[in-house]
Amino acid sequence: MSDARETELLASVPDGLFIGGQWRPAEGGKTLDVYDPATGAVIRSIADASVADGAAAMDAAAGAFPAWAATPVRERAEILRRAFDLLQARKEEAALLMTLEMGKPVAEARGEVAYGGEFLRWFSEEAAHVQGRYGANPEGTGRMIVTQHPVGPAFLITPWNFPLAMATRKIAPALAAGCTVIIKPASLTPLTTLFFAAILEEAGVPAGVVNVLTTSTTGPVSEGIIRDPRLRKLSFTGSTPVGQRLLEQAAGNVLRTSMELGGNAPFVVFDDADLDKAVDGAMLAKFRNIGQACTAANRFIVQRSVVEEFTRRVTERVKQMRIGRGTEDGVQIGPLIDDRAVAKAESLVGDAVTRGATVTTGGSVVDGPGTFYQPTVVADVQPGSEILREEIFGPVLAIVPFDTEDDAVRIANDTEYGLVSYVFTGNLARGQRMIERLETGMMGLNVGVVSNAAAPFGGWKMSGLGREGGAEGIHEYLQTKYTLTANPFA
């Protein structure tokens, strides 16, 4: 490494599996390499878990569950709050580590630390707010008691694009509810989860309550855990095809599931919108995390009377974006995660151009080390283009013109996905109509970022099941019991 600070940080991250409160090597000492996507260099080798290691993690989570479920809510909440404080104290390390293994600019990584930390703080507070109810039944013959209980050991599978926030968004509500967990981070970005596990250990999480598996054989290791009858909850963030396979496996033991899957977010700009705000929102909604977010705007659906001006303005902004390693000052666009991501962006842009679209800036792979693709604007994208059907997951802004409000709704809803939508309009009634007409689980009205720990994150249709964050998030890890007692006055 060129920076002693980076070398020291990487050396400080645990390289083992975290099972039953112990850091240990994988079975047979097997390891996997972690790469810096900006250079292609190996930055760390860590334990590569086997199916047997997964079984050991399941043993630990199941063994720790009864005591953790019985732990007073206040104690669980205080551990989460200590973890929040410890993370804030090490926020610069966490941000740099994410940049090294994932590629996002450090400034954005700092934002993820702030966002991810909020789940720890939010659920430390939400833990004590879980309530049941008590009352007479309608017939007056008895009393109904409704109580909430932790569902049991949970398996959490997180993606590579937000390695801290996805870990905290799943672990925090699970622990607040009284569940124990096994978390399997993506093999492309496992270091941040290992770093965070060490923070949880320092915060006082008991042995076996949080277990971490890093592995290159995701399918077999995950299936072994999912098929175990002691597991009661599965939470996954990733692609829809993988989510479908996991749901099939989860059906065997009728697991509770949370699935945050693919997106194809429409970004609708009406001719009565404030174009300055719309362009600012577009830059956030598209280029945050280098476009590698399930909430990234995928299709910019712009009313024909303003499409030329909107295209001109976003093109000017995109031309000014600086590309480079995320550790460099002023960089706004880091590398894509790997070669496959670059090839996908190149293919989608090429298909759009073949069908009649125009590239107004960018549109090429960046020569040299690392996996970089130029920030790109593609105008006048034609119906049937692959870029309108597939999630881009890269820094490519694709623009489609429309004429009427009904056209905008039809184009926006013309997808199997329904995670998030963005609408820019100066007309309040139109904004209200779009809230009711767009088929998405979340919507940004005149804003380009919607994620917040206090809000329920999740989608409709093929974008998933369940919600993360908000008051709803903790209930994904709770199950309801109804008890009837005799009328005490009879």
Cα separation of 360 and 381, whole Å? 12
For residue 133, what are the CA distances in angstroms to 40, 148, 455?
A: 56, 10, 24
**Partners of 150 in the β-ladder:** 478
Question: Phi-psi category of 474—alpha, beta or left, where left has phi over 0 and alpha has psi -120 to 50?
Answer: alpha
**Partners of 268 in the β-ladder:** 301, 423
Other beta carbons less than 10 A from residue 51's beta carbon: 16
For residue 372, what are the CA distances in angstroms to 202, 282, 324, 330, 338?
A: 37, 21, 8, 16, 9
* From 126, 179, 294, 468, the catalytic residue: 294
**Partners of 337 in the β-ladder:** none
- Is residue 6 part of the annotated active site? The answer reads no
- Is residue 179 part of the annotated active site? The answer reads no
Token pair listed for 13 = 């991250």
For residue 450, what are the CA distances in angstroms to 390, 423, 447, 455, 456?
A: 21, 12, 7, 9, 10
Cα separation of 408 and 425, whole Å? 12
Cα separation of 431 and 57, whole Å? 48
Helix (H) or strand (E) holding 266: strand 265-269
Cα separation of 376 and 363, whole Å? 5
Token pair listed for 311 = 């295209």
* From 112, 118, 201, 260, the catalytic residue: 260
| 361 CB-side CA count, 13 A | 17
- The DSSP line for 76-127 is HHHHHHHHHHHHHHTHHHHHHHHHHHH---HHHHHHHHHHHHHHHHHHHHHG
Other beta carbons less than 10 A from residue 26's beta carbon: 20
On whether the CB atoms of residues 457 and 442 are closer than 8 A, the answer is yes
172, amino acid identity: A
Active site amino acids: 260, 294
